[in-house]
């Protein structure tokens, strides 16, 4: 019974285009996409660098990054909270309980995934094309742009995995965003709030919309990579 | 190749720009941050009050809802401008320690004891909350405690003392501390057929009731007073003193008090404005 009314709630949410609801969806996408973008800008070069260079302590860093893929969102949230709180080292910025704080926390969550998956992908490509690239004079970090471009489709999957993690988490955004109505309320924090109000159909309805959005984004990425692969031949 | 790359760059630029824009736009609005309790948010009171205040002053109120203990802590750290909670002793201590300027009473609602229809402790309809708590403990009937240092949790602990039960010693597997908000506690009680102390507002607004109903209400000891405090600008210089004070003055002034009294769900009044009652 609850499940059918949840479908009803999800349907009417989408059909009515309720401005409050659209604002929540918009904020969720904006925060998560910005976090993934930032994580990509930082993580793709770092991951590639880890793959093509050899230095003492590299294995330890690889293990550390792999381990951080499992960083609990609530811990990431707590770290950012303590940093941004008025009583913390970055309190002067006044960023706590704002979308900016949520982007920072989610970037922290996505970054290890991007670095680790990039390193894995580039590692394989590097061992395959090393001699070829070296003969072209591309050694060490100079090979990175070419390798990243060659691995772009596999790397896109890594970014999608990061997107999935960030869009699904509630622990971090709840702590650093504060779930403020109309300002820092996202899909996942709304679901938590409606659950606590006992409105389970609405909570599940929001959950269905979130699942649908994630599917749509993955389908779009898959389609884009298929088309891209055909053109790249 | 060239066009594809420039497309990509343009796309990235667009996303960056839109997110930068989105984040600077709200920063220009005038706002204060209020840390308050789950009951005021879950009951829908703020959704009713805040638009009226904003229409009058242009100040947006951003509410972070937490348990009373955590809400006061948020104020202590300087992460809120105003604290609006319900635990008189803790509020006075907050002011005494210099974290708040002054505590003003705003309104009250009352607590109700919720329990399963089967009523294993046999207390339904009683007006004596102390006797009811004693009976629950004596029969070891399942009881859900918030266990989160919230105002409701503090009230519950106080009621055990009033009932002559030393809960720290008496608690067993029947006493379940869940460490979560009011709504979560009600959901848990529904699932476990347990008794639970709730503020009336959250209960009236709560939808997933199952077999739960009010078993004890109307005892004066179930009185639940709310107070509001401006976080001390002497301690945290960034506190928005003027706008925060404007919100407090509006809440305890005639307009805010009337707005509070006007808030009803299914014809039932949830909060009783009493800013002018001495000693509240």
User: Residue range B215-230: average pLDDT?
Assistant: 94
pLDDT at B20 over 50: no
A107 touches chain B (CB under 8 A): no
DSSP codes, B174-230:
TEEE--S-HHHHHHHHHHHT-EEEEEHHHHHH----TTEEEEE---GGGEEEEEEEE
Asked if residues B40 and B65 have their Cβ atoms less than 8 Å apart, the reply is yes
Give the CA count within 13 Å in the CB-facing half-sphere of A126. 23
Q: Could you tell me the fold of the domain covering A21-232?
A: MetI-like fold (1.10.3720)
Query: Given CB atoms, is A91 within the 8 Å cutoff of chain B?
Result: yes
Question: Sorting pLDDT into bands at 50, 70 and 90, what band is A170?
Answer: very high
Q: Find the closest chain B residue to A26 by CA distance.
A: B22
pLDDT at residue B1 tops 50: no
Tell me what pLDDT residue B6 has: 53
Gap between the Cα atoms of B183 and B176, Å rounded: 15
pLDDT at A214 > cutoff 60:
yes
The alpha carbon of residue A59 is apart from the nearest alpha carbon of chain B, in Å, by 32
> Which pair of tokens denotes residue B54?
């904003």
Mean pLDDT of chain A: 91
Interface test with A, best of B19, B24, B37, B80 (most A CBs within 10 A): B19
Tell me if B226 sits within 8 A of B280, measured CB to CB: no
**B255: pLDDT strictly greater than 60:** yes
- pLDDT tens profile A112-157: 999 999 999 999 999 999 999 989 888 888 899 999 999 998 899 8
For residue A2, the model assigns a pLDDT of 67
Reported confidence tier of residue B8, pLDDT bands at 50, 70, 90: low
Q: What is the DSSP letter of B56?
A: H
Residue B18 clears pLDDT 80, i.e. is over it: no
Mean pLDDT of chain B: 90
**A140–chain B nearest CA distance, Å:** 23
Neighboring chain A residues of B182 at a CB cutoff of 8 Å: 196
Residues A99-104 have a mean pLDDT of: 98
> What is residue B160's predicted lDDT score, i.e. its pLDDT?
97
- A94 Cβ under 8 Å from any chain B Cβ: yes
β-pair partners for B84: B36, B228
Among A26, A97, A91, residue whose Cα is nearest residue B33: A97
Q: Determine the pLDDT at residue B24.
A: 46
Whether the per-residue pLDDT at B189 is higher than 90: the answer is yes
Answer whether B183 sits within 8 Å of A96, measured CB to CB: no
- Percentage of chain A modeled with pLDDT above 90: 71
Global pTM reads: 0.85
pLDDT-based confidence at residue A4 (cuts at 50, 70, 90): confident
Domain boundaries, chain A: 21-232
**Domains, chain B, ranges and CATH?**
29-108+225-273 (3.40.190.10), 110-222 (3.40.190.10)
Q: Output A231 or B125, whichever has higher pLDDT.
A: B125
Out of B12, B26, B206, the one facing A198 most closely (by C-beta) is B206
Which residues in chain A are closer than 8 Å to B64, comparing Cβ atoms? 97, 178-180
């Amino acid at each position: 019974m609850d499940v059918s009314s949840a479908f009803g709630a999800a349907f009417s949410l989408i059909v009515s285009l309720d401005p409050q609801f659209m604002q929540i969806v918009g904020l969720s996408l904006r925060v998560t996409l910005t976090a993934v973008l930032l994580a990509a800008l930082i993580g793709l070069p770092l991951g590639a660098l880890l793959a093509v260079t050899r230095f003492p302590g590299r294995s330890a860093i690889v293990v550390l990054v792999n381990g951080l893929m499992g960083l609990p969102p609530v811990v990431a949230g707590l770290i950012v909270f303590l940093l941004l709180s008025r009583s913390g080292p970055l309190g002067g910025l006044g960023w706590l309980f704002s979308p900016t704080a949520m982007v920072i926390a989610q970037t922290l969550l996505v970054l290890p995934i991007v670095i680790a998956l990039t390193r894995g992908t580039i590692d394989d490509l590097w061992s395959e094309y090393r001699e070829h690239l070296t003969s072209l004079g591309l050694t060490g970090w100079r090979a990175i742009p070419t390798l990243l471009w060659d691995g772009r489709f596999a790397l896109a999957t890594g970014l999608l995995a990061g997107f999935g993690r960030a869009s699904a988490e509630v622990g971090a955004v709840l702590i650093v965003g504060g779930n403020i109505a109309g300002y820092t309320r996202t899909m996942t924090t709304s679901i938590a709030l409606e659950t606590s109000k006992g409105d389970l159909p609405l909570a599940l309805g929001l959950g269905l919309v979130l699942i649908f959005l994630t599917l749509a984004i993955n389908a779009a990425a898959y389609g884009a990579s298929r088309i891209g692969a055909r053109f790249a031949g | 190749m060239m066009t594809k790359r420039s497309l990509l760059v343009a796309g990235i630029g667009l996303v960056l720009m839109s997110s930068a824009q989105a984040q600077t736009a709200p920063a220009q609005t005038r706002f204060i941050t209020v840390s308050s309790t789950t009951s005021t948010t879950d009951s829908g009171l703020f959704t009713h009050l805040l638009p009226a205040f904003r229409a009058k002053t242009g100040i947006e109120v951003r509410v972070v809802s937490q348990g009373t203990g955590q809400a006061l802590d948020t104020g202590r750290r300087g992460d809120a401008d105003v604290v609006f909670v319900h635990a008189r002793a803790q509020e006075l201590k907050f002011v005494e320690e210099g974290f708040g300027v002054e505590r003003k009473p705003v309104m009250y609602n009352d607590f109700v004891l919720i329990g399963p229809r089967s009523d294993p402790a046999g207390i339904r309809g009683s007006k004596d909350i102390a006797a009811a708590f004693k009976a629950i403990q004596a029969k070891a009937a399942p009881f859900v405690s918030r266990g989160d240092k919230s105002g409701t949790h503090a009230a519950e602990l106080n009621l055990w003392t009033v009932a002559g039960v030393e809960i720290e010693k008496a608690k067993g597997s029947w006493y379940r501390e869940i460490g979560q908000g009011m709504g979560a506690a009600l959901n848990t009680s529904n699932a476990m057929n347990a008794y639970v102390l709730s503020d009336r507002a959250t209960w009236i607004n709560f939808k997933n009731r199952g077999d739960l109903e009010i078993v004890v209400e109307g005892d004066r000891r179930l009185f639940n007073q709310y107070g509001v405090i401006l976080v001390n600008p002497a301690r945290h210089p960034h506190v928005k003193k003027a706008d925060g004070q404007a919100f407090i003055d509006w809440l305890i002034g005639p307009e805010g008090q009337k707005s509070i009294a006007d808030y009803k769900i299914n014809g039932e009044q949830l909060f009783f404005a009493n800013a002018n009652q001495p000693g509240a």
